[in-house]
Amino acid sequence: MFFCVTRQVTGIMLSPVAERMKLGISLYLFPPLFVAFFALVGCAVPKQGPATITKVNPEHFYSGKVVRTTDSMVQFEHLRRFRGALETEDYSNIYGNYYSVFWVSEDKRPVTVRLDYRSGNTASEVHTKEVLVDLPKSKNVTKFEVTGSQYSEQGPVTQWKASVVDNGKVIAEYKSFLWKK
């Protein structure tokens, strides 16, 4: 133990550094704890309601796109989509946009997960796809596809907005950067 005699009145007095070390608190420990506390508080997501969309994974498969990567998981996902396709028509039905909406729910009431999107060929017209979830779990994934004739006629999706709807009221929403009202 580090002792530094400063004054001797009734015994040995410790310096302030030695006193903190005696308590087990280091001066160098305070700044990292201070930064960590405010970093964690800043990362807290505000509660939105009975449901929250945590993220949306968009994927776009189109003709001519060849996945060149060393990551086997990314390559597998690309090949999995094309499994079972034998003819050109089968491949053209697979091309399109795929969305995985990850969301959490506190209630077990039935809700509707909705995907609103705009496509390249239809300009500002908003298209909607809905999936009714009768018995949601605490963590859920809902998948949407814009493929086949929809994709070939409407074009690729340029903007999207995912929402969770309960009795006609939007309780959670997550949108792309390009989405506008």
CA–CA separation, 89 and 56 (whole Å): 29
> For 111-162, how does the pLDDT look when each residue is reduced to its tens digit (9 = 90+)?
999 999 999 999 889 999 999 999 999 999 999 999 989 999 999 999 999 9
Grouping H, G, I as helix, E, B as strand and the rest as coil, residue 27 is: helix
What number does CATH give the domain 51-175?
2.60.40.10
> For 69-106, how does the pLDDT look when each residue is reduced to its tens digit (9 = 90+)?
888 887 887 778 778 777 878 878 888 999 999 999 99
Domain boundaries, the chain: 1-44, 51-175
CA–CA separation, 134 and 113 (whole Å): 11
Angle formed at CA 49 by CA 38 and CA 160, multiple of 5 degrees: 95
* 19 vs 172, more confident: 172
* 57 vs 33, more confident: 57
CA–CA separation, 142 and 166 (whole Å): 15
Beta strands in 20-154 (DSSP E): 51-61, 96-105, 111-119, 127-133, 139-147
Segment 173-181 shows an average pLDDT of: 91
Residue with tokens 């001066």: 27
